Amino acid sequence: MLSKMALNNYRMAGYLLLAIGLINLRYQTGHSNVLVHSLLIIVPGVLLIGVTFLRSAQSFLAKREVMWMLAAIGAALVVWAITN
């Protein structure tokens, strides 16, 4: 099982992606494909937040490999959102 702190970290990462995606949507208005680019950031964030509320997914999220994979994907999405 995940500790409350780890679960909170996952949720904060999801909120981070959601916020960056919404900011990207607002400030990139006028560029082509802005909705697609923003949704590529928002959707994983919303999914991550949603998954943290499923008890069955908490044992999956507790695995070290999953933690590293999600950290890498999240970092890549944040960097892509900033440089995009």
> According to the model, what pLDDT value does residue 27 have?
87
Across 51-67, average pLDDT: 91
Q: Are 44 and 77 in contact (CB under 8 A)?
A: yes
Across 48-58, average pLDDT: 92
**Integer CA distances (angstroms), 33 to 10, 25, 30, 74, in order:** 28, 10, 9, 21
> According to the model, what pLDDT value does residue 81 have?
87
Compute, in degrees rounded to 10, the torsion defined by CA atoms 47, 70, 58, 48: -10
**Euclidean distance between CA atoms 79 and 81, whole angstroms:** 5
pTM comes to 0.88
pLDDT confidence bin for 54, thresholds 50/70/90: very high
- Mean of the per-residue pLDDT values for the chain? 91
